[in-house]
Amino acid sequence: MSFYKYFKIKNTVTLFLLFSTITISGQTEQESIESLISRVVDYQIHQPMVPKREDRAFPNGWIPSTFYTALMDVYKVTGTKKYFEFAHEWAASNNYKLGPRPLHADDHCAGQVYLMLYDFTNDSTNLKDVFDTFDKMMNERSAGREIWDWCDALFMSPPVFAGLYKITNNAKYLKALNRYYWDAADYLFDREENLFYRDNRFFFKRSEIGNKIFWSRGNGWVFAGLVKIIDALPDENKHKEDYIELFKTLAKRLVSLQREDGVWSPNLLEPELYNMPETSGTGFFSYGLAWGINNGILDKSIYKVHAEKSWNALVKLVDDDGKLQYVQSVGHEPEHVSKANNSAFGAAALLMAASEFLKLESTDEK
């Protein structure tokens, strides 16, 4: 058989199979993503979201807050009313209150949901506790490295400051954000590896084989938090570029650590010691990469292949019921993860990523 005939037959078969797959499934790529979102939400909404620790067992804590932030992300893209209603009902059940610890970043995360709801309701009375808490916080003369001394905090609290600045245009919120954020980042960021330590316990701690320890989900919190901050700041704001530069620095480092199967390991520098996927960190990285491409911050020709690899890997790790597997449990350092592990913050990371991949696919189809 000539090469031309072989090539023609092979590609005809390939096109036939591709066409058959599309017509049998009846779904475009966007419809497939929306179907996945629905499945994940329907599964996760019925799972416990409150931590087991009694001193953290309150319904407006960081775990449900992260999940409902993600629901608002997908609502903004899909317009599916039930996502808004889930978030609104949850916020109302909390009386739009933040968590009970006024200076603890974890207890600020609910404010992100309330601010996102405000974008649609324009009801500022629901933000009273957010304003009161953050105004009092600014009266504290604490340094960023004192109040945000673990990298997860850079997702939980800073986007609320950015959101308050966005809706009020009051420079005091931006000034506080910059003061706290860059002091905390300077404290936790390793300039040799271009990654964030989880907290000061890891500054000098080393792994079994002598490497520095950089937690996947911890860096995922920082990466996703930067998306939220940058998104809230107007283009003309001179401070926005500082956050963009940090985001780009992290993105460049993260793609260099991505595994061939598209995921990142619990310990970013040691995939050989953690031979399993970890989907919460991977979800946040996937979200950030897709968002960066969609907003013209990351070069599509370089980063799209990494974003798509991570997204395709995540999709394969969602079971038929909508359960995202291989989510490392609540913790503060890399740990081995089992397939059965699932949590709302892992599902949230995937949903955030899905909201950006819907935009990415929409752009590609034009």
Residue 160's alpha-carbon distances to 13, 14, 127, 290, in angstroms, are: 53, 49, 11, 22
Q: CB–CB of 325/339 below 8 Å? A: yes
In a domain, 19, yes or no: no
pLDDT at 11 over 50: no
Q: What count of other Cβ atoms lies within 10 Å of the Cβ of residue 362?
A: 13
pLDDT tens column, 167-195: 999 999 999 999 999 999 999 999 999 99
How far is C-alpha 69 from the chain's CA centre? 10
Q: Which residue has the tokens 């993105």?
A: 251
In a domain, 23, yes or no: no
What percent of the chain has pLDDT above 90?
84
Q: CB–CB of 282/263 below 8 Å? A: yes
Quick one: average pLDDT of 261-290? Answer: 96
Q: Which residue has the tokens 């939220």?
A: 228
Quick one: average pLDDT of 74-101? Answer: 98
How is residue 196 annotated by DSSP?
Answer: E
Residue 115 backbone class (left: φ over 0; alpha: ψ -120 to 50; beta: rest): alpha
pLDDT at 325 over 90: yes
Q: Which residues are catalytic?
A: 152
Quick one: average pLDDT of 8-23? Answer: 35
pLDDT at 25 over 70: no
Identify the pLDDT of residue 22: 38
- Band of the pLDDT at 80, cuts 50, 70, 90? very high
Closest to 70 in 3D by CA, of 330, 353, 321: 353
In a domain, 356, yes or no: yes
Can you name the residues that pair with 318 across neighbouring β-strands? 324
pLDDT tens column, 117-126: 999 999 999 9
Full domain range(s) for residue 56: 31-365
In a domain, 21, yes or no: no
- Band of the pLDDT at 53, cuts 50, 70, 90? confident
What percent of the chain has pLDDT above 70?
91
In a domain, 25, yes or no: no
pLDDT tens column, 212-269: 999 999 999 999 999 999 999 999 888 999 999 999 999 999 999 999 999 999 999 9
Q: What are phi and psi of 336, to 5 degrees?
A: -70, 145
CATH number, domain of 303, equals: 1.50.10.10
Quick one: average pLDDT of 79-99? Answer: 98
Cα–Cα dist 204/122, whole Å: 48
In a domain, 60, yes or no: yes
pLDDT tens column, 146-172: 999 999 999 999 999 999 999 999 999
pLDDT at 6 over 60: no
- For the chain, what is the domain count? 1
pLDDT at 7 over 50: no
Quick one: average pLDDT of 334-356? Answer: 97
Q: Which amino acid is at 17?
A: L
Q: Which residue has the tokens 């909390």?
A: 94
Closest to 240 in 3D by CA, of 323, 138, 162: 162
In a domain, 7, yes or no: no
State the average pLDDT for the chain.
92
In a domain, 262, yes or no: yes
pLDDT at 3 over 50: no
pLDDT at 111 over 60: yes
